[in-house]
Every structure is written in structure tokens, then in C-alpha cells.
Structure 1
Amino acid sequence: MKQLFCLLFLLSQTTLFLQAQSNYKPGYVIDGKNDTLKGFINYREWIKNPREITFKQTQNAQPQKFTVTNANAFAITGAEYYDKFTVNISTSEVDLAKLSHTLDTAYTTDTVFLKSLVNGKNVSLYVWTDNVKPRYYLFNKQTHTIEWLKQYQYFNDERQSVAVVNSYINQLLRQAFQYLPGDTKILTRIQKASYSESDLTAIVIALNGGKATQQAIHTTSGIRFFAGAGARYSKLQFKGAASSGNPFSNGANDKTFSPVITAGLDILINKYTEKLLFRLEFAGAINRYQFAEASSGSGASSVTNALDVKLYHLAAIPQVIYNFYSTDKLKAFIDVGLAMNAYKYNNYNFATIYNFGSTTTVVNQNKYPDFQGFDFAIPIKAGIQVNKRVEIYGSYWLPSSLTKYIYYSADQSSFQAGVNYIFR
């Protein structure tokens, strides 16, 4: 388990790497005088709305800090857009453990950068996200006013359940009556809408006349595919005393090399930074283990136990990858996953070989030990990505048992190294 503890320690330190890095992407800042400054913005994985950004007019220029005090808007070209507004920000909690037991309508007023989700001809949709929750805002292009789309949650002690007040539905219905009078479909759609980015985005697009007259902000998420090959060094080790039924001595093992092929897809949280991604990988390999161990006797009279087993291994491995170092040309990552392993075996035999002088007798037990056809394992991985296309990695698969016996086990572990090609 030492390897797993090391990985968890590395994961805990990745935020330090993240803070020290720069990721300047083309963008612009609209300053306090409404002048547009084109250049490069240090683009981070903004899970929360940023209150400060770093800007350079050229890649070699000195960085400048911009906040709501000296900027009205900024954008990462083609990715994310932010505008400055003074808005009411709800302070009521949505975490079940922190829910109020009465309706909490408290708010603060603050000047912040709101993230643009939809930029429409009639109304635009924005979001503010912090440690508490996301709040969505609707900006009316005709009146130049912005309002919070309200939703409240609290714990109803009488009913012993969470009560939800969806005021945003009536707010959107008023917009529908103004911009789409007589459209009954949009009314039904609004009444069924959840307080989520996907539902609200779709409704605001409709309020602006649909795709033909609507400019929506491009999503930052993405999908990419990969395929590759490598080599695997595997060990099968028997653990348990002979008295427990173990066919070999405690610690007996065999090691083997085998080729491995991989393929799969990555789901990128943010395709412009690629800091965090989820991967579904499929891997296939064939391992062959050969055991031969004298159990008693020597010389002309002896008894030897032998096993020759070949296993065909197919794994589906969901995993989380974190690029703790990231530039356009080089990324370094760590990875942890959960392998769901399916095995198919040859028609193997456990052989007991009796030698008495010149006479040899072999007794075979078919399909013994009884290896299971499915198990779970934890692979941990580290590697680099070069020029956005080539991924080079090494991984360690923590031991997992191929048997279900109570008193002894046959544990398989592996080291693997390989190269993947990323299709973009």
C-alpha cells in the first residue's frame, strides 16, 4: 500500500504546483475607461468566478493585475467571457447540513465579474459561483437592468423534508410574455425547468428567438480519444501456509512480460487548460505463469507440484487524471483509477508429479486452483504529455487476488509502461 500512500500525498500537493504555473491564452480586457486591451490572460480552472486576473499585452511583457476596480470586462477568446456588474448575491446555503430551518432571503450586494453563459439580443444569462452555490442572473438588453433568478431552499421541520421556492419560474414567465407572447410551448418549458445551467441556457436562447438570432458562449468541456501500446511486467504470488490448502509454499511466485494495448476517451473539464480530466480506458493483455516446486523428497524419489496457466485479461478502467504541470508543449500528470478486470483462462491443470526411481506418475487436477473471472484492482499512474499528442507513462497495479479461497490467495500485481497517441 506504500505506493498508494505516495500517490495520495502527491495529489495533496498538486495545488502548490498549480499556483506556481502560468497558462496565458489569447484574450482581452476592457479597462475602466472602456478601452479594449488585446493580449494574453493567465487562464486558470475557475471553478469559482475570479475576482482578479493577470494580463499581458505580449507574451514577454510584464503582467498587470485587473480587478473590478480597473476593469469592466475580460475574456479568454473563444472560451469564457466575464462582465462587471453590481448585483445582489444570496447568502442562503444549499448544503443539506447547513440548511436554514426557515426561508432565508438574506443577500449581500457586491460588484463582481459575472460569467456570461448566453449573450442574446433580448436577454443575456450570467452566473456567479462561489463556495456557497451558483446564482444565475438575467440581464435585460432593453432596460439595461440585471436581476437574480431566485431560488431558495430550507428544511421544513413540520414535513421533515427540504422545501424549495422556485421564484425564478415566475421571473422567466414574465420574460416569455414580453418576448414570446402566445407561445404556449415556452411556458410549459419554463414551468418544468430546473435551476441548472443547461435548462436555463436553453430557455434564454429560446427567449432570444432561437439559434438563428442567438449567440451562445461555447462550452469549455470537451472529449478526445486515444490509443496506444506498452509492456506489462506482472507477478502472480501465492500467499498462505501449506496447511491452509495452498498448493505452493508461502510467497511462491512467477513473473512474466507481456504486451498490452490500450484505447479509450477522455472527458475534459476545461479543454483550454486540461488540468483535470476523466478517462475511460480499455486495456488488453495476455499473461502466462509457470510454477514448478518440489513438495517432498529429493534425488530419485520426489514429489513436484506444477502449474502452467495462461490468462487473457481485458480491463475497463475509469480514472481521474490531474496535470500538475501544464504548458502548451509539455504536461506532467498523475492518475488513479479503478480497474474492472475480466479474465479468461486456458484449459490449465495443476499437476502433481511423482518420481520413484525411473518411474514418473503425473496426476492432473483440471482447473485447479479455481481462478475467478472478474475482480477489481487499483492502478496508479504518472507520466508526461508531449506536444499535445504523445503520452508516455508508467503505472503500478496494486495486488488483487485471482482466487476466493479463505485461507490462501493468489495475488497479481503489475508494472506497466507505454505510449498513447491522443487524437485531437
Structure 2
Amino acid sequence: MRIKISFLGLFFISVLMHAQNNFIPGSVITAEGTTRNGEINFQDWKRSPKQIEFRNGNETMIYTPDLLQEFTVNQETYISRYTSLDVTEQNLDKMHADTPVEFMDVHVFMKQIVRGTINLFEYFDSRSHYFVEKGDDFRELNYRQMLTKDSKLRPQKNFIGQLNLLFSDCKSVKASNSLDYKREELMEVIEKYNHCGETDYKFKKKNKIKSDYGVFVGVGLTQLKFERTTGVFEGFEPEHTVSYNVGGFYEIFINDQLKKWSVLGELGYFSVEDSYEYSYVYSAALDYKSHQNLKFDLSTIYLNLMVRYRFNTNNQKIVPFLEAGPSFNYSLSGSMEVDQHKDNVEVDNYYVFELRDVIYGLQLGVGVDIAKFNVGIRYVTNSKVLNFADRTGLNSFNARVSYSFN
């Protein structure tokens, strides 16, 4: 079992190292205006990238902002601009009443989040900076926190006045003083301006968290194991028996663009039962044997918390994945009973062993997504199944099919 877990662990590590590269179809427009199609190493950037890796055939190039006008990948466009950036200190531990307002000329990539008469862009370093473009006018929407002499934070919302100047040719749109310097709010007011005069226009907010839910059913081969087979368990040789599980899942995607990383919660029902016959010699001189009949059954309600990684490189139809996480089982019912009959002994022995109320485990799995279906195999190892023996294990290989309602 340790060899299996070690092998799967090494396999996971190698996959995670490989996952740092994610070349998907993309294009760049060079500083000279030439468009090149190929693949870009897309990392679902939270911080604006300082450079990108572009591949065309066997040629791989590193592009910095000064070498490009823009690039497009995963239906997202990043433009390159040499501009003035507000770098006023915003770390409260370093701020004081005389903190100066500072700007720095930088050449950066920024993501386009609204396209229209007014374009809106986002640049993120330690915080979000929003830029607008209307005709030949390109500038940062200025917002910062300043510390007063009585040590209170005072927001400077200069961006509201900047927006209202840009909106001056549309009387029906105005940036209110309560507007926050946040992506969704800025997108909404700018989109309203871009649709000025359209009486039926309504801004649609994007879901901040992508999620999925559904049901699953599975069948497995489960093995009851003892690390040390002594006493009544001497001579026991584990065999695999059929087990069943069914339940529902809820999945939250960590990066909502490619849906690569996700956290999966599962609530399910598990059931297994079997019987074993085995014997051992308890008197070698007389060749007397002890014969045991072991009956085992267990049913649990379980909660799995899994982290899943999908090899989704271009939203393809069949997506392989790896997953791992802990398992928490609450015993609904179950027992382990042993009938023992010894040669030349008239009285039989009968033993009953109690199962633990809570059984902890670890799961490792592989599989594929096919449309709304998910087909996978999991290796499940549970330890400390019985109260009397900490080394009692319950290991399974499960084949599972899930169906998503989203």
C-alpha cells in the first residue's frame, strides 16, 4: 500500500510541475504592427504579466510590453502601454500624514475588460489600477487612500470627476459619489455610457464564483487488511469484495477561465460486506488447526474534500484530470464477527469487534470529463477502522460516474 501511495504521490508532483506550462492558441501584434498566430503560455494571471511566452512551431520567444502592441489568449486581450502609473504608498504601515502623491512612468501589459466608445483596462500589481481610453485620451482613473493628521484614512475618489467629464455627452449617465473603485461597478457605469440612448439595455453582472453540482454512483473492490495478523486473525489473507457508493457533489472552480483547479465537496453513502474463511495451526505437534469464519459489514455517510486539476488546454470536449483529498466517514452501522472452531475442542469461540464511529481516509483519483459526464477511478485508503486495532485498514479501488446538472 505504501508503494502505491508513494507512486501516486510522485505522479501528482510530476503533473503539478508539468502544469506550470499551459500553451494554448493565441496571437500577438508586434510593436511594428505584425500579427503572429501561435500559442501563448496562459497562466490565468491575477497580477498583470511582466512578460509572456509565445510559441510558433519549434520557435519560442519571450515578449515584454515594449515589444508588443497587444496579445490575445483565451478570449482575453492585453494591450501594451507606456503610461503614468499612480504609485502613491498604500501600505498603512508605511503611510503617514505627509505621504506624497507619486506617479511613475511604466511600460506594462493591462487587460481590456470593456470595449466600446470608452474602453476600460485593468492593471494589477499590489492593487488594481483602472485605465480608460476615449478617442486619443488614455489615462488612469485615479483613486487612493490618504492618511490624515488625526490618523484616519480618507479616500481620494478623483476618478468620479474624471468619469463624469467623459460622460458629458450623455446626459442619462452619471457617476455618483457613492461609486466604488471596483471592477464590476466601473464596468457597469461605463457599459451604460457605451449603450447611451438604448432604452432596453441592461447590464448583466458576471458570476464571481463559477460552480457546478450533480450526482454520482460508483462500484469498487474493497479490501480489509490487518498490518499484523495475530491471535484470532492469524492466517487471515485479505481478498477484494464489491462495495457501492452513491451521493452528490458541489464543485467550486478556483480559476474560472479554463476551469483547471477546483475544490470538490462530496456527500455520499458507502456500503460493503463480505465473509472470509481461514485457518492456522495452533498445535504443530498434533497438527491441530483453528478454523475461523469472519463476517464484516460496514455502511457509512461520508464527506470528501477534493482538490482537482484538469488538463484543460483549450476547453476541449474530453478533459483528463487528477484529484486528491481527505475523506471523513461516519459509521451508520456495521460489525465484524469471528466464529472460531478449534480441532479437538468442543466449545466454539465467538468474537465481536466494534467499528470506529469516525473513520479517516485519503483519496487519489484520475478520470476524464466528457460533456456533462465524469468518469474516474479512485484509490481510497482508510486507517483505524476498528476500535481495538489502529492498524486495521480498508482500501478500495472505485470506478465512478458523475453527472453534472450545470
TM above 0.5, yes or no, is yes
**Paired residue for 2:130?**
137
Residue type of the partner of 1:144? Answer: D
- Secondary structure of residue in 2 paired with 1:115: strand
Q: 1:349 to 1:23 in 2, by over 3 A?
A: closer
How far residue 114 of structure 1 moved from its aligned partner, in angstroms, is: 0.6
Give the alignment partner of residue 73 of structure 1, picking from 49, 67, 70: 70
Q: What SS does structure 2 have at the residue aligned with 1:287?
A: strand
The 1:375–1:354 alpha-carbon spacing in structure 2 relative to 1, beyond 3 Å, is closer
The answer to whether the 8 A contact 1:323-1:332 is kept is yes
Instruction: Give the drift of 1:14.
Output: 3.4
Corresponding residue number in structure 1 for 2:121 = 126
Aligned length in residues: 387
Residue of structure 1 in register with 2:327 after alignment: 339
Aligned pairs (5 A) from 1:2-401:
2-14=3-15, 16-18=17-19, 22-24=23-25, 32=31, 42=40, 44-47=42-45, 48-50=47-49, 51-52=51-52, 54=54, 67-76=64-73, 79-85=75-81, 86-88=83-85, 90=87, 100=94, 108-119=104-115, 125-130=120-125, 133-139=126-132, 141=134, 144-147=137-140, 149-151=142-144, 165=153, 167=155, 170-174=157-161, 186-188=176-178, 190=179, 193=180, 199-206=182-189, 208-209=191-192, 222-225=210-213, 227-239=215-227, 248-249=233-234, 253=238, 255-261=240-246, 263-270=248-255, 272-291=257-276, 306-324=293-311, 326=313, 328=316, 331-346=319-334, 348=335, 350-353=337-340, 363=350, 368-385=352-369, 391-401=374-384
Q: Where does structure 1 lack aligned partners over 5 or more consecutive residues? A: 155-162
Give, as a single letter, the amino acid of the residue that structure 2 aligns with 1:372. Answer: R
1:238 Cα deviation from its structure 2 partner? 3.5
Amino-acid identity (%): 14
SS across alignment from 1:416: strand
Deviates more, 1:47-56 or 1:396-405: 47-56
Mapped contact 2:130–2:141 kept (Cα < 8 A): yes
Cα pair 2:114 2:191 within 8 Å, conserved: no
Task: Give 1:113 shift.
Answer: 1.7
Q: How far 1:105 sits from its partner (Å)?
A: 6.8
Q: 1:371 to 1:304 in 2, by over 3 A?
A: same
| SS of equivalent to 2:48 | coil
TM-score (normalised: structure 1): 0.67
Q: d(CA) in 1 for partners of 2:185 and 2:218?
A: 44
Identify if the C-alpha distance between structure 1 residues 119 and 284 changes in structure 2 by more than 3 Å, giving closer, same or farther: same
Q: C-alpha separation between the residues in 2 aligned to 1:52 and 1:349?
A: 60
Shift of 1:378: 1.4
Instruction: Report the Cα distance in structure 2 between the residues aligned to 1:54 and 1:33, rounded to whole angstroms.
Output: 17
Whether the 8 Å contact between 2:21 and 2:41 is mirrored in structure 1 is: no
Whole-Å Cα distance in 1 between the matches of residues 4 and 100 of structure 2? 47
8 Å CA contact 1:383–1:394 kept in 2: the answer is yes
Q: What is the rounded CA distance, in whole Å, between the counterparts of 1:15 and 1:227 in structure 2?
A: 28
Once residues 220 and 32 of structure 1 are traced to their aligned partners in structure 2, the CA distance between those partners, rounded to angstroms, is: 34
Question: For 2:90 and 2:366, how far apart are their aligned partners in 1?
Answer: 38
1:239 touches 1:250 (CA, 8 Å); kept in 2? no
The Cα offsets for residues 9-38 of structure 1, whole Å up to 9 and x where unpaired, read as 44443365346553216xx65554668x59
Higher RCO, Cα 8 Å, sep 6+: 1
Q: Note if contact 1:317-1:339 (Cα within 8 Å) is conserved in structure 2.
A: yes
Stretch deviating more after TM superposition (291-300 or 4-13): 291-300
For residues 306 and 101 of structure 1, do their structure 2 counterparts lie closer, same or farther at Cα, with a shift above 3 Å needed? farther
Conserved? CA contact 1:240–1:408, under 8 Å: no
Query: What is the rounded CA distance, in whole Å, between the counterparts of 1:15 and 1:353 in structure 2?
Result: 50
What displacement does 1:353 show? 4.4
